Amino acid sequence: MKHATFPPDLIQLQADWFRVYEALAVSGPTHSTALRRELQSLSVRLLWHPYWAGPGRMPAARAELRRQGRRVGAM
């Protein structure tokens, strides 16, 4: 598959989503409510990003976005 070209803000949103998800996974009950709210907010922003209104709505594009988001988050 040809690698999709995503806007930088969309890749950063995905990287932030992974960061918050991992923080929620290791956090105790102390900050879980704030992290869950942030994760929900990021999920909505990812879902309704203007990029998905165009031709990139294929499931493979979402998988590629997750891959690129993980790579950016690891840096």
In this structure, is residue 26 part of a structural domain? yes
6 token code pair: 């995503």
The answer to whether residue 48 sits within a structural domain is yes
Alpha-carbon gap, residue 60 to 51, rounded angstroms: 14
Domain-located, residue 47: yes
Q: Does any domain span residue 29?
A: yes
CA angle 43, 44, 48 (to 5 degrees): 120
> Does residue 43 form part of some domain?
yes
Kindly report the average pLDDT of the chain as a whole number. Answer: 88
Mean pLDDT on 9-36 = 91
Q: Examine residue 64 and state whether it is found in any structural domain, yes or no.
A: yes
**Whether 64 contacts 12, CB under 8 Å:** no
Task: Please report where in the chains the tokens 């999709």 appear, as a residue.
Answer: 4
Whether 2 maps to a domain, the answer reads no
Total count of domains within the chain? 1
pLDDT over threshold 70, residue 3: no
Q: Which range of residues forms the domain containing residue 15?
A: 8-74
Confirm whether 3 is domain-assigned. Answer: no
31-66 pLDDT, tens per residue? 789 999 999 999 999 999 999 887 767 888 899 999
Taking the C-alpha atoms of residue 71 and residue 12, their distance in angstroms, rounded to an integer, is 10
